Structures are given as structure tokens and as C-alpha cells.
């Protein structure tokens, strides 16, 4: 459950993860961090859906968050699935999740119930590929029948209580040191998927659990997500998961029933993908280059008369100070009060700025079409193409 040699073999991966996560968290204004969190949750949802084979266009996710659902049933169901995922991650990011340790049966059950209870009824069924029987998914409930996942045969359903209890003991009590816990995030992810306690939804629960676990360990924030890294290397992700399912390979391959060598390799991959995503977001959020990308885009919009001159000055203030006081907008733009209001209205209508009320300070927002310009490579160039077909 916890690789015996992890402390030595994974140390080199731990140090950059901690250092770069702290650097990224300290670089961004707390208010701006909330805005970027909204964007990252949508991104995380997109990539987690992609791993599940559900390719939802980022703009469809935006529309769903604005309660604008497609008339086409399949697309509408995928939109509702996206909203459910984002809701659960927002609870995690804002500290409104349970006190239970994320690597625990109680937390896994909460994740599954919180997510599945928000799905449309049509999505709460799976079909047994052997019998053709239609099986109902009960939110938060362990499976009551045996399943197979590709070539992997998870434990029989009657043995789940024993395996779940072992999961809790290994990862929650007695508590591991912080370093060991960080090293073990990948192991938690794999072992949960190996047990496969739910009839469906185990992959999504495992990724949300990893996100929550990183956050509790002081590494994860709303500014980055490992799901993007896993999805962009999906073939290797799934291959290493399968490799870690293998049996122990002799006396030097740990003391459990499963291969320690395979588990350590998956843990290293998981840590590597985590560092890669922190570095990716750090590059995108570097203030000077971010402002340059924003300025180029806004100048194009001004030339096309979709925004007014002075718009970039307002957006720059939001980047540097987290928000913009409405009273400052005339001085920022050089317009009188009426012209300044028009600048503000244009930015709000385009979704670039948002506020909790018509008098509250304005903060940045990142609708999908804007995110594509300000945050290049956040999504793949063909985002949503499989679904569109």
C-alpha cells in the first residue's frame, strides 16, 4: 500500500513539487487566484471528462455554468455532468468538503454521492457488457456485484469491506509523515482504482481525491490540476496503472501481493505529471507575459470595435491588484464617468470582468473564447472535436 523504498526513490521528485507549488501560490494575488480557480476547475473538468471518454467542448461547459443547456439530450447530459464535477471541486477548493481525510472510505463515499446526486437520472445507469443488464448507480454506495475493468478483476463485492478497511488503515491511521504522504498520493490513486469500490465513477472520484489530498498537504491549490497532465499522457497513465496491478515479482519486489516496483514507477509518474502542470500554469500566469498576451488580444478587439479604448488599462489593474474599484476606472481609461461606464459594460458583456453586484469591485473572468487567447495550450487545439463528431 505504501512503497517501502519510496522515501529514497521518490525524494528527488518531492523537492521540486513542494518548492514550485509554493512559488506558484505566492505569485498570484488572492482575489485573482479565485478567478483563476474558476478557470482551472473548468479545465480540470474538461480533462477528467476526456479521460472518461466524454469530450465536452469548453464553450459548452461555460454555457452550462450560465444555466444555458443544449436542447440535444446527449450534449445536455454531458453539460450537467460537467457542472456536477465543477461543483464538487469548488467545495474542495473553498474548504467546504468534509473533515475526513481525503484518502479514506468516508471521503470517497462523499465525493461519489456529491457528484452522482447532481447527474441527470439517465446517467445513473451502466450496462453489464456480459449480460446486457441495466444496472442502477447508487450515489455514494459500494457496488453490490462483481465487475471487470479491462483485464483487471477488482476484489469481489463481498470482500469490499475488508479492502476498504485496509485502505483506511494504510493511508489514514496511523498518519504518515508529510513527506511520505506526498510520496504516496500516486499510490492512493492506484490502490483506490484497483479496489474499484463503486459500480461506476471510480476514475473521477480518484482524481478528485488526489486533488483534495494535495490541497490538504499544502501543495495543491485552485491554480493547477494534475488531471490535465494525466489526460495529455493518457496512454502512459493507463499503462502504468495496469502495470502496477501486476503481482509481486520475487522477494525484492516488496512484501505485499502486488508489485512494489510497478507502484513506485506509477508514483514517480504521478509526481512528475504534477510538477509538469505546476510549471505549465506558472508559465501561463507569469504577470509580464500574461499581460502581453492580454494586451495583444484587447488591441485586436478595440480595432474591431468590439471593445473600447482604455479596456486594457482596466484589465491590467485587475491582474496587478486582484480587482478594480469602479471609482478608479475614469482615471485608468481617461474617460469621463459615462465613457468609463461604457468601457466597463463592454468588458462585463464580453465576460472579461465580473462582480457580485453592480456596485462591487470588478474582478477578472475567463470565458472559453478569452481563455483560448490569454492562456494558450490550456486546451488542445481540437477540444471538443470527438464530441462534435
Annotated binding site: 149-152, 200-207
Distance between CA atoms of 263 and 252, rounded to whole angstroms? 14
Name the grid cell of 22. Answer: 509554493
Question: Rounded distance, CA 15 to CA 4, Å?
Answer: 19
Instruction: Reply yes or no on whether 157 is catalytic.
Output: no
Q: Which long-range contacts (CB under 8 A, 24 or more apart) does 149-156 make?
A: 149/196, 150/242, 151/242, 152/194, 152/196, 152/242, 152/245, 154/194, 154/195, 154/196, 155/195, 155/196
β-pair partners for 135: 126
User: Which grid cell is 94?
Assistant: 473553498
Sign of the alpha-carbon dihedral angle for 367, 212, 227, 205: negative
Q: Which residues pair with 363 in a beta bridge?
A: 354
Do residues 379 and 72 make contact, with C-beta atoms less than 8 angstroms apart? no
Q: Which of 190, 196, 211, 297 is catalytic?
A: 196
Residues 209 and 108 sit within 8 Å (Cβ to Cβ): yes
- Give the residue ranges of the annotated binding site for ATP: 149-152, 200-207
CA 4 to chain centre: 29
The answer to whether 115 and 88 are in contact (CB under 8 A) is yes
Helices (H), the chain: 6-9, 11-27, 30-51, 58-65, 73-93, 105-116, 160-172, 178-183, 185-195, 202-216, 226-232, 234-243, 260-285, 287-303, 311-321, 329-333, 337-349, 368-374, 385-388
Q: How far apart are the first and last CA of the chain?
A: 42
Catalytic residue numbers, as ranges: 196
Amino acid at each position: 500500500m505504501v512503497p517501502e523504498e519510496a522515501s529514497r526513490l521518490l525524494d528527488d521528485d518531492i523537492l521540486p513539487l513542494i518548492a514550485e507549488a509554493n512559488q506558484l501560490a505566492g505569485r498570484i494575488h488572492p482575489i485573482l487566484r479565485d478567478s483563476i480557480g474558476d478557470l482551472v476547475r473548468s479545465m480540470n473538468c474538461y480533462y477528467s471528462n476526456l479521460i472518461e471518454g466524454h469530450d465536452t467542448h469548453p464553450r459548452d461547459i461555460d454555457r452550462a455554468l450560465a444555466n444555458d443547456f443544449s436542447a440535444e439530450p446527449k450534449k445536455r447530459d454531458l453539460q450537467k455532468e460537467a457542472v456536477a464535477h465543477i461543483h464538487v471541486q469548488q467545495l474542495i477548493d473553498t474548504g467546504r468538503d468534509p473533515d475526513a481525510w481525503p484518502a479514506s472510505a468516508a471521503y470517497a463515499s462523499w465525493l461519489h454521492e456529491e457528484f452522482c446526486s447532481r447527474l441527470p437520472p439517465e446517467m445513473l445507469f451502466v450496462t453489464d457488457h456480459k449480460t446486457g443488464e441495466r444496472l442502477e448507480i447508487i450515489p455514494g454506495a459500494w457496488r453490490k456485484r462483481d465487475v471487470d475493468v479491462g483485464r483487471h478483476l477488482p476484489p469481489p463485492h463481498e470482500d469490499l469491506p475488508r479492502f476498504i478497511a485496509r485502505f483506511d488503515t494504510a493511508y489514514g491511521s496511523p498518519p504518515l509523515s508529510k513527506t511520505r504522504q506526498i510520496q504516496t498520493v500516486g499510490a492512493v490513486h492506484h490502490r483506490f482504482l484497483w479496489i474499484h469500490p463503486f459500480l461506476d465513477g471510480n476514475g473521477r472520484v480518484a482524481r478528485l481525491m488526489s486533488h483534495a489530498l494535495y490541497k490538504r498537504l499544502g501543495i495543491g491549490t485552485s491554480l493547477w490540476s494534475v488531471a490535465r497532465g494525466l489526460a495529455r499522457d493518457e496512454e502512459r497513465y493507463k499503462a502504468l496503472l495496469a502495470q502496477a496491478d501486476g503481482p509481486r515479482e520475487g522477494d525484492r519486489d516488496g512484501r505485499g501481493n502486488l508489485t512494489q516496483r510497478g507502484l513506485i514507477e506509477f508514483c514517480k509518474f504521478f509526481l512528475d505529471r504534477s510538477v509538469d502542470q505546476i510549471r505549465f500554469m506558472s508559465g501561463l500566469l507569469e504577470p509580464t507575459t500574461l499581460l502581453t498576451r492580454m494586451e495583444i488580444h484587447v488591441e485586436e478587439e478595440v480595432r474591431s470595435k468590439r471593445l473600447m479604448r482604455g479596456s486594457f488599462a482596466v484589465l491590467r489593474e485587475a491582474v496587478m491588484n486582484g480587482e478594480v474599484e469602479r471609482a478608479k476606472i475614469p482615471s485608468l481609461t481617461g474617460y469621463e464617468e459615462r465613457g468609463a461606464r461604457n468601457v466597463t459594460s463592454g468588458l462585463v458583456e464580453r465576460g472579461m470582468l465580473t462582480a457580485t453586484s453592480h456596485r462591487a469591485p470588478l474582478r477578472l473572468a475567463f470565458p472559453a473564447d478569452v481563455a483560448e487567447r490569454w492562456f494558450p495550450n490550456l486546451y488542445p487545439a481540437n477540444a471538443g472535436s470527438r464530441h462534435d463528431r
